[in-house]
Amino acid sequence: MKSEEIRSKFLEFFQKRGHVIVPSSSVVPDKNDLSVLFTTAGMQQFKPFYLREKSPYGSNVASSQKCVRTSDIEEVGDERHLTFFEMLGNFSFGGYWKKEAISYAHEFITKEMGLSIDYVTIFEGDSEVFEDKESVNIWKAIDPNLTIKKFGREDNFWGPTGESGPCGPTTEIYVNGIEIWNIVFNEYFKNVEGKFEKLKQTGIDTGMGLERLTMALQKKETVFETDLFKSTMQVANSSIIADHIRTSVFMIADGVLPSNTDRGYVLRRLLRRAYIHARKLKIETETLNAVIGKVVEHPSYKGLYAFAENTKEIVMNEIEKFKKTLETGLKQVKADRDPFTLFTSFGLPLEIIKEVVPNVDEDKFKKQMEEHRKLSSSSL
């Protein structure tokens, strides 16, 4: 089953069960949401509706949301971590609750997709929030033989996005040893002081990565072997390049441009890291252009997402500038200059310097950075 079919089947499944299908919002959050730099979850565009603002779509919705999570940059390259992904999700704002949410998920995974569930997890409880015994009973009623594991706050409690907002315990579904679906029961509001208050209106918030689900259905060892990455991997043969360029293309489509601050800096960091890996593999920069083309033309995105016409120009301009900066800096380092020069004179962060200069003394580098900050602040 192709990725575009999987996405369609998910949305059709919930549409038949009374959900309004809502298009993905931008990877750049609404201007009123200052909690995060990027859209990190499907529920983000629906946050006000969990706080009793009236939803124009009704109580139950479903979507396939474009998401960017930059906390996973260092993990990109393994079988499942990505900086950009699509999150399939169904949501309810004071409509249905745990029984329906769990039943829908079980039915979709086992009957619609024909997959076997390894086990599910639930929140074991702590000093602030009770154990989720209700979910245990629901799972046992659906399948008495199902293995149920209990975990703490780090694994089975989600949210909020940012410092405050709706949040709650979760139940997660594992298939082929990988977490496929995270079902969040929004029954709390965490305020800025870190205290949990019961929400007056409970809500369902689920998230399932299209890429991971596709990996399971296509029986692949990694997400980079699925049809979502097949064409880009054939061109670049690097998971880091395939991921970072794809993420960059979606960022640029939603108006992000390379810069030294905020979202623009994240884009710049991704493009620089993609170029560094291309350089290591002796891949021509023109190959990165070809990867862009494969993303823009991908059957799973065609007709669904619009991309900026000048994407290649933006990427190539940024990479060419970085290429010149890097070459000049490396010449200075080769001339027995301290690698710290790459930071002070050329603005390259440690993570990039480590990629191009072998055996950098990180402790020394960090001490130099601290001294540099002190000198900078004292001269103000």
The per-residue pLDDT for range 199-232, each reduced to its tens digit, is 889 999 999 999 999 999 999 999 999 999 999 9
Measure Cα distances from 24 to 21, 87, 165, 305 in Å: 9, 9, 21, 9
Query: In the predicted model, is pLDDT for residue 288 greater than 90?
Result: yes
pLDDT at 380: 46
Mean pLDDT computed over 253-257:
98
Q: Taking all residues of the chain, what is their mean pLDDT, rounded to a whole number?
A: 91
Mean pLDDT computed over 249-257:
98
Mean pLDDT computed over 244-258:
97
Domains and CATH numbers, the chain: 3-217 (3.30.930.10), 226-378 (no CATH)
pLDDT: is 352 or 278 the higher one? 278
250, β-bridge pairs:
none
pLDDT at 258: 97
Enter the tokens of residue 174.
Answer: 């594992």
Rounded-to-integer distance, Cα 103 and Cα 96, Å: 11
Query: In the predicted model, is pLDDT for residue 259 greater than 90?
Result: yes
Query: In the predicted model, is pLDDT for residue 375 greater than 90?
Result: no
- 187 in Cβ contact with 199 (< 8 Å): yes
Residue 298 φ then ψ, to 5°: -60, 135
The per-residue pLDDT for range 26-56, each reduced to its tens digit, is 999 988 777 789 999 999 999 889 888 999 9
> Among all chains, which residue has been given the structure tokens 């979202």?
263
Mean pLDDT computed over 331-359:
81
Encoded amino acid at 379, one letter:
S
- 249 in Cβ contact with 292 (< 8 Å): yes
pTM: 0.90
Percent of the chain with pLDDT over 70: 96
pLDDT: is 5 or 341 the higher one? 5
Where residue 142 falls (left for φ over 0; alpha for ψ -120 to 50; beta otherwise) is alpha
